[in-house]
Every structure is written in C-alpha cells, then in structure tokens.
Amino acid sequence: MDYATSLGLLAPELVLALSGLVLLLVAAWGGDESARVNSIAGAIALGGAFALSLSAVVDGASGLDTFAFFGQFRADAFAGLAKLMIFASSIAVLMIAPRYFERIGAMRAEFPVLVVFAALGMAIMVSAGDLLSLYIGLELNSLAAYVLASILRDEERSAEAGLKYFVLGALASGILLFGISLTYGFAGTTNYTGIAVAVADGLSTGQLFGLTFVLAGLAFKISAAPFHMWTPDVYEGAPTPVTAFFASAPKVAAIALLARVSLEAFGTQADAWRQIVIFAALLSIVIGALGAIGQDNVKRLLAYSSINNVGFILIGLAAGTVGGASAMMVYLVIYVVMTLGSFVAVLLMRDAEGRPVEGVSDLAGLSTTRPVLAWCLLALMFSLAGIPPLFGFWGKFVVFQAAVQADLIALAAIGIAASVIGAFYYIKIVKVMFFDDPVDTVKGESDVPHWVLLGLCALFVSPLGYLLIAPLDNVADLAAASLAVIP
C-alpha cells in the first residue's frame, strides 16, 4: 500500500490535526477574545471529520483495504462508528461550553483547541492496529485531558481534579507501557495481527502477564473498578462541560480500544482475558451502584453511574463474540446520549445569580418550579436505570442477550440483579424532584443550545428511540463484523 492511499484513510485525523494547529495559532494571536470563534471553527472541523468517517460505517469497511501504514492504522467500520460518537460528543461539548465559561468569566481560547486535539488522540486510539500507535493516541488524548480538567486555574477544585487525574493517569500509562513491553518481548511484535498469530497456540506466562498489565492500564481509562478511584473526584472538580466530555467521548474511545485489543490481538485466547473482564464488570456494577447511593452531589452521582454503566458494557465484551461486540456498540451509542443529556441538565441547574447548583437536595420540588427540566431529567434517569419503555432498557437488554448467547447465563443473571440495586439512586432523584417540598433553588436563565441538546437527548431515550433499533443494530453489526480477528 502506498503512502497516498494510507493518507487517504487518515483523512479525518489529518483534518483535525491541521485544524488544531490553525486554531492554536489563532488562540496565540487573538487571545481569549477569539475563544468563541475558535469554538465554532473547532465544531466545524469536528463536523468535517464526522462526515469523512461516515462512509466507512455505511459501507461496512473491513479487510486489508482498511489498513494504513502497514497495519499501524485501521479505518474500518468499527473505528468509524466509534469516531462518529467521539466527534458528535466533542461537538456537543463545544456547543454547551462557551456560555458556561463566559458566565464565570473563564472562557479561554485554548479550550476548543484542547478538545480538538483530544478528539484527534481518541480517533487514533480507536483506529490503532499496533500497540505503539495505540499508545501515541492515548497519550495525545490524556495530555489534553489533564489540562482540560484543571482549566479553571483559580478554582481549587479544578486544580485538584487536574492534579489527581495527571498523577493517576501517569501511573496507568506506566502500567500500560509495561504491559506493551512484556507483550513485545514475548510475542516478538506489537502489531495486533502479529500478536494474534503469536498467541494462536496458547499464551505463555510472559504473554499472559503482558495481557494482564495492558488490560489493567486500559481499565483505568474506562474507569472500571478497581481502577475507578479517580472518577468521582475528577468529575466533581472539573468544570461541568469538561466532565460531560470525560463521561462521553474518552469513554467511547477507551472501550472501543479495549474491545479491539481483546478481540483482535488476543481474540483467539478469549478464555484468558474473559475472567479479568468478568471480574471488572461485576465489580464496576456493584461499586457503581453502592457508591452512588450516599452521594448528594449530582456530578459525583453521575460519576458512579458511569462506573456502573461501564460494568454493563463489559458484559458485552466478556461474551467475546461478534454479537457481544455489536451489543457493546449499541449500548455505547445509547449511553453517550443519556450521559450528555444528564450533564446538560446539570448545566441548566443554576440559582438566581447564575451559580451552579449541584446538590441532589436542591432539586426538591423541581417538577413544580421547572417542570420541563424535571420531566427531561426523569426520562434520562429512568433510561439510565434501564426501566422500560425508555430506550436505555434496550442497551441493557442487548448486552444481557449477548451474554446468554455466549453461555454466560450466570453473568447475565448477576448483572440483571445488580441493575435493580443501581435503579435506587436514579429513582431517588426522581422522588426528590416530584415528591419533596419545593425549595425553589434552581432559577437560572435558560440557554437555547442547552435546551436544544436536552430536548434531543430526551426524545432519543423516550419510547420514540425504539424506532432506531433496526438501523442502529445494522450499523453495530457491520462495525463488529469488521474486526480483523474474532471467533
């Protein structure tokens, strides 16, 4: 394959890289006054990358024609679907962030630049066909994320969130790099296809240790238990638009990356990593459900909710089949919409002076004082809980179905039972909004972009979302089938 063809397959990433460099120059010359222009330009660049990624998904791109730079990069349907979610989430964040930062006088021109470079790193992550390109994309995303978490330099909580994320993220990167080193040492290659050939006849002890360390490093990135400890503090301390970004786009990238490594590089040895994935899935579901029960801060509660949802997504991965990978992607699409909607609702929770309101108790009687916001939040909470007929139920149904079809009936049964526990804290929020005496704390003015996004997310998770089942399942099946090595 020549370099021109390879560069053509990297078109979305090239658009983001060049756009990011231009936006960086604009930010340097124009200062913070160029922040809104940069946000609009960044959203346009991400929209262009979204459009360029669409064809791979629609065409179900797979096989050697999707390989670029001798297998270092893969522009297949699986990567394409993940990129669509990443770019859409990033655009949504650039829509909601300016008004939030302008209200507190902290809008900076480099914010959209960091979002664009983080999206570029995530796009490289999901298309990586080699452990080295994986690491490059991961670090590009992580370096931007550390700065985003601490972008409010004068606010103690934001600085603390950035520092915690950086220290624990560096530790996780070290663990991942050690696993990559072990894998290279005992498999003789860092290419996924080469690793699959090297482990086809069974894993040696060294290869098993390499796999374990790689999975441990990636588990941190998706905030799966027991590597979840950073999530509540970072989600609470980071600015709300940044938290919305962390809970959506990077989560998609890391989970898609974990799926590709597991199913392509080590797909022939699913029994070796399935035990680790099942352990992380069940622990994430339990810790996410129990940890959220005592939370009074909405952002911390949603942090534990994300841990809980990662556990359900990992059930699909544990199946180790095409059906399981497809179920994961369906759940991810629904999860991203539910999460973005929930954080947009949090952004709309402001007092009369425009200050953020994040306490669960401050939502008391919201159905009386702000009924539209309360009903949208109700739909999102019940959908996150997986209560039918809301669309979040379908996400849980498909991953449990994939587990049952893979003869993991006990895992599916435990997951279903644990999902009942998790429903408690979602229902608690609804109870506070609809049955407690009004405190009339939430009075802030409404922003049109926020309401538009919240309305779209609420409609998506409503029963109307079931109209999308056929196209969503079709796209997810094409994406899962494009993975190079899968049983």
410 Cβ contact partners less than 8 Å away, ≥ 6 residues apart: none
Task: Report the predicted TM-score, pTM, of the whole model to 2 decimal places.
Answer: 0.94
444 Cβ neighbours under 8 A, 6+ residues apart: 348, 349, 350, 351, 352, 354, 357
Question: What are the angstrom distances between the C-alpha of 248 and each of 1, 136, 337, 342, 382?
Answer: 34, 20, 8, 11, 19
- Please say if the pLDDT value at position 486 is more than 70: no
Evaluate if residue 485 carries a pLDDT over 60: no
At 17, the pLDDT band (50, 70, 90 cuts) reads very high
Whole-number pLDDT of residue 164 = 87
Q: Please compute the mean of the pLDDT values over residues 143-172 and round it to a whole number.
A: 87
Span 189-222, pLDDT tens digits: 999 989 999 998 888 889 999 999 999 999 988 8
At residue 439, the pLDDT reads 82
Confidence (pLDDT) at 271: 86
Taking only the tens place, the pLDDT of each residue in 260-285 is 999 988 888 888 899 999 999 999 99
Instruction: Please give the pLDDT value at position 447.
Output: 77
Which residue is associated with the tokens 């086809």? 200
Q: Which residue has the higher pLDDT, 58 or 47?
A: 47
Pick the more confident residue, 485 or 408. Answer: 408
What is the pLDDT, as a whole number, of residue 142?
A: 92
Q: Given this model, what pLDDT does residue 484 score?
A: 62
Q: Is the pLDDT of residue 289 over 90?
A: no
**Residue-wise pLDDT tens digits, 391-445:** 999 999 999 999 999 999 999 998 888 888 888 888 888 898 998 888 877 776 6
Specify the amino acid at residue 136. Answer: I
Question: Residue 467: what residue type?
Answer: L
**Integer Cα distance of 375 and 392 in angstroms:** 16
Q: Could you tell me what percent of the chain has a pLDDT over 90?
A: 49
Q: What is the pLDDT of residues 57-90, one digit of tens each?
A: 888 788 788 888 888 898 899 999 999 999 999 9
Average pLDDT, the chain: 89
